[in-house]
Structure 1
Amino acid sequence: MGKETPRIEEYLESIYKLQEMKESATTSKIAESLELSPSSVSEMLKQLEQKGFVNYADKGVVLTEEGERAAKKVIRKHRLSERLLTDILGFGWDEVHEEACRLEHDISSEMEEKIEKRLGNPKTCPHGYPIPDKEGLVARDNAVKLSELKAGEKGVIVSVFEENPGMLQYIGSLGLYPEVNIEIKSIAPFGGPILVNVRGEQKSLGKELAEKILVEKKK
């Protein structure tokens, strides 16, 4: 399989990330992620199905084995680019997504390997998501959405959705970074705020925000 066009890569990356966030890759969610019209997305999904990259499911599409392999290639370059931007060039974690989107399509395999070596073979991006290795292998976890935890449950943050700079700035201001321990103190009824203990301080999160944070529950 040869190198895919940047447009195809962006679609595969979007679908992969939705699956990673435990979301269904529906036409509307892909359209929102890529800032495109649903009709444009529907047409492209048909092409991706014809190419053998996706299959239609009950809700949206899922990546085929070939589609996942292609998605991981661009995801790897994207996340290594984000690490380069934060660790070497000093960008904030809320500033790197768009820059990495531009870099990911043009990085050669040789440059990819040099970046990885220079960074000390990082395992995750600045937002906590795993970086696939050269063979496409990804460390699996048992992460769930923070919004799924119950009052009294504890966990450690695994990853934070990275595409909205304003959201990342706010999440950072609350101290909700990867590898930080949290405890659910209380959950207001009817979709109300979730009170979370973060490093000894109580922070209030809306359900929408809590759905953007993946945690691994502690027993």
Structure 2
Amino acid sequence: MKISNDAEEIIEKMWRFTEEKGMVSVPLDTLGVEKKSPEILELIEKKNITLQGNNIILSQKGIENGRNVVRRHRLAERLLADVLDTKDRYIHNAACEFEHVLHRGIDDKICTLLGHPKTCPHGRNIPEGECCRKAKDRIERVVAPLSALSNGQQGKVAYFDIKDEERLQKIMSMGVLPSMPIGLVQSYPSYVFDLEHTRYAVDREMADCIYVKIESGS
């Protein structure tokens, strides 16, 4: 049963607190809602949450719904940043609106289109979807890691999926920055790519970290 947009905002915040910050329950004050607010009453009626005093606890159904909302929000951010070139200061608010129209199934299509991204533009993990688990690649991808490009394919650097600060600095010291034109020259024995007028070579692990917005027809 679909829940309202306002109620989705509540369980999205709840999911982040419980699943990413390890909180068992979340005080109503932390969420800025009252015990008898319409959103809370709706979530109780639809068995997404239970109340324990002034604390909210997500049910298994609420965990699942919250996870889906977070996934849609972060995929929307990725789409807005990588495909629509939306500026950073507008991404979050636009994604808040967009997440509510990405119905089940559409989010998987967008995820596949983007090459199953692992993080949002702010570096937060995107919950894995069924499409990721099945690794479906039948739809041509718009954004893919450098390692997945074919020789001769070109595009622009979209983002980095990397947690290692030293490795990130190494990439950036080569001049590999978001929006820079990039083209793969060869993929064996190392990944050789052209960046503007300079040619570089990196290993597979490094090539996996550089995501490229592929030019159509390349």
Q: Shorter-normalised TM-score: what interval?
A: 0.5 to 0.7
Secondary structure of 1:62 counterpart: strand
User: Does the CA contact (< 8 Å) of 1:93 and 1:127 recur in 2?
Assistant: no
1:37-116 to structure 2, matched below 5 A, reads: 38-39=33-34, 44-57=39-52, 60-116=55-111
What is the letter of the counterpart of residue 73 of structure 2? H
Alpha-carbon deviations, 1:95-116, whole Å to 9, x = none? 3111001111112334323311
Q: Does 1:26 align with 2:21?
A: no
> Aligned-pair distance for 1:71?
1.1
How many pairs align? 139
Matches of 2:45 and 2:95 in 1, distance apart?
A: 28
**Structure 1 unaligned blocks of 5 or more:** 32-37, 139-176, 183-198, 200-219
Could you say if the C-alpha distance between residues 50 and 108 of structure 1 is closer, same or farther in structure 2, counting changes exceeding 3 Å? Answer: closer
Q: Which residue of 1 aligns with 2:2?
A: 3
| Range 74-83 or range 113-122, more displaced | 113-122
TM-score by length of 1: 0.53
Taking every aligned residue pair, what percent have the same amino acid on both sides?
A: 30
Larger Rg: 2
**Structure 2 unaligned blocks of 5 or more:** 134-160, 170-218
TM-score by length of 2: 0.53
Matches of 1:66 and 1:48 in 2, distance apart?
A: 10
User: Does the CA contact (< 8 Å) of 2:7 and 2:40 recur in 1?
Assistant: no
> Aligned-pair distance for 1:8?
1.6
User: Does the CA contact (< 8 Å) of 2:47 and 2:61 recur in 1?
Assistant: yes
Alpha-carbon deviations, 1:169-217, whole Å to 9, x = none? xxxxxxxx972549xxxxxxxxxxxxxxxx7xxxxxxxxxxxxxxxxxx
> Aligned-pair distance for 1:124?
1.5
Matches of 1:52 and 1:122 in 2, distance apart?
A: 31
CA RMSD after TM alignment? 3.3
Q: Does 1:133 align with 2:128?
A: yes
